[in-house]
Structure 1
Amino acid sequence: MAAELIEGDTNPGKVKIGIVVSKWNSMITDKMLDGALKALKGNGIEEADITVVKCPGSYEIPLTVQKVLENRDVAGVIALGVVIRGGTPHFDYVCDAVNRGITDLILKHNKPVAFGVLTTDDVKQAMERAGEKGNKGGEAALALLEMISMEQKLTS
């Protein structure tokens, strides 16, 4: 007897998606947002079914994601931001807070949140991940669609 295999795909059908994007480092996050929107639309998600919410910075992403999960009928949320290492421990505090906050929200709301928050050593690395060598916003969107599809298959 073969093991049962349940795997998501990038075509969950008609679903509503939230995107939370940080305005800090917008020259990078705007490209990530474009990549996420392109990936969603390329996989059948209609623009009318996408809610984009912009927050000030990456530190504010978890609260903003929480508000979207509580106030919009979405199947999941894509969190997009950039934290670039500087000369102080600020980088570590922000990265840890965003990671913990999003993880807590996934478990609290039982809905997927794709982690598209770049944590890089410099602007060049962030720019590469926002389009020059792939787009992490688009990758986060595809991951979210797979998680929604997998959840649909698990609960049907």
Structure 2
Amino acid sequence: MSNIGIVLGRFHRKEVGEMLDEARAVAARRGLGIVAEVWVPGSMEKPLAIKRLLMRDDVAGAVALGIIERGETEHGNVMGHAVISSLIDLQLQFMKPVGVGILGPGINPSQIPPRIRPYAAAAVEACADLIEQG
């Protein structure tokens, strides 16, 4: 059995909690163990938490879950691009997959509920697929 870690943004704790439930179910179905669930303040903190997980010998991959909601400024878009770029760089640095289940940047509140479970599931599935190929 391969192990993964999950990093979660607590700014939208209720919705991200639902994402975690889905991620756990998909991980179990795919035969992945979850060795760590790390809650961080928001998306900006995800790359460091993911890096710490990827440095562990018992972690074959990681999943980032969260929401970057549309705001009144471009902050969310800039942050979203920086976070995704950092997560891609970490995948390549450690040669371990990072499944990204971050809604947004720029998602409207009404768009969040129908995407919670599909995005979480897709992030774990992507991580599992790449672990299997590895």
Alignment TM class, shorter chain as reference: over 0.9
Residue in 1 that maps onto 2:131:
148
TM-score under structure 1 length normalisation: 0.80
The runs of at least 4 aligned residues of structure 1 exceeding 6 Å deviation read: none
Higher strand share goes to which structure? 2
Structure 1 unaligned segments of length 5 or more: list them. 1-13, 152-156
8 Å CA contact 2:32–2:128 kept in 1: the answer is no
The Cα of 1:72 is off from its aligned counterpart by: 5.2
**Whole-Å Cα distance in 2 between the matches of residues 85 and 98 of structure 1?**
16
Aligned-residue Cα RMSD (Å) equals: 1.4
TM-score under structure 2 length normalisation: 0.92
The Cα of 1:101 is off from its aligned counterpart by: 0.8
Structure 2 unaligned segments of length 5 or more: list them. none
Amino acid at match of 1:146: D
Report 1 or 2 for greater relative contact order, CA contacts < 8 Å, sequence distance ≥ 6.
1
Q: Structure 1 residue 90 and structure 2 residue 75: aligned?
A: yes
Residue in 1 that maps onto 2:119:
136
Correspondence list, 1:1-156, <5 A: 14-46=1-33, 49-71=34-56, 73-119=58-104, 120-131=106-117, 135-151=118-134
Q: Indicate the percent of aligned positions where both proteins have the same amino acid.
A: 32
Paired residues in the alignment total 133
The Cα of 1:88 is off from its aligned counterpart by: 0.4
Identify if the C-alpha distance between structure 1 residues 72 and 127 changes in structure 2 by more than 3 Å, giving closer, same or farther. Answer: farther
**Whole-Å Cα distance in 2 between the matches of residues 121 and 66 of structure 1?**
26
